[in-house]
Amino acid sequence: VSHSYQILKKLGNFPDSNIIVMMYNDIANNSQNPFPGKLYNEPNGIDVYDGIKISYQGNQVTSKNFLNIIQGIHEGDTLNGPVLESKKNDNIFIYYSDH
């Protein structure tokens, strides 16, 4: 998820207001991470956690919230958070990752 965020930011033309990140966020600051507060997805790579703007994390990462987000529904955890506001001719990119 963090790597995809960095790719979008590197490509440009994708302001944070157009990126919604759902990420459990349990790795970067985990006590077993040898690089606290950092996240690498390849040896000698960049810190893909650097600067990431997480919209929903931890217990907010649920299937219900995901469906609310892609349907543009402000309710429960998504009441005050970002949701898709796309129109029928807009293109969206969804990257889904799970263990």
Q: Would you please indicate which residues are annotated as catalytic (active-site) residues?
A: 99
Please work out, in degrees rounded to the nearest 5, the angle formed at the alpha carbon of residue 85 by the alpha carbons of 58 and 28: 25
Q: What is the DSSP letter of 55?
A: S
On whether the CB atoms of residues 97 and 41 are closer than 8 A, the answer is no
**Residue pair 21/52 in contact by the 8 Å Cβ criterion:** yes
